[in-house]
Amino acid sequence: MTNSPKLTPLQAAEARRLAAEEAKATKVPQARSEEEKAARKERVTKAKDALSRSVGIKGEHVAGARAAIKTYLQRLNEPNQPDDARFEMLIEAPFKAPEKKKTNGPRF
Residue 27 falls within a domain, yes or no? no
Number of domains in the chain: 1
Confidence at residue 1, expressed as pLDDT on a 0 to 100 scale: 47
Residue 22 falls within a domain, yes or no? no
Residue 18 falls within a domain, yes or no? no
Q: Check pLDDT > 80 for residue 98.
A: no
How confident is residue 80, by pLDDT bands cut at 50, 70 and 90?
A: confident
Give mean pLDDT, residues 70-78.
Answer: 90
Dist. CA 67–CA 70, nearest whole Å = 5
Short-list 19, 38, 70, CA closest to 93 = 70
Share of the chain above pLDDT 90, in %: 30
Residue 55 falls within a domain, yes or no? yes
Secondary-structure percent of the chain, ordered helix, strand, coil, rounded to 5? 60, 0, 40
Give mean pLDDT, residues 46-53.
Answer: 93
Residue 29 falls within a domain, yes or no? no
Dist. CA 43–CA 70, nearest whole Å = 13
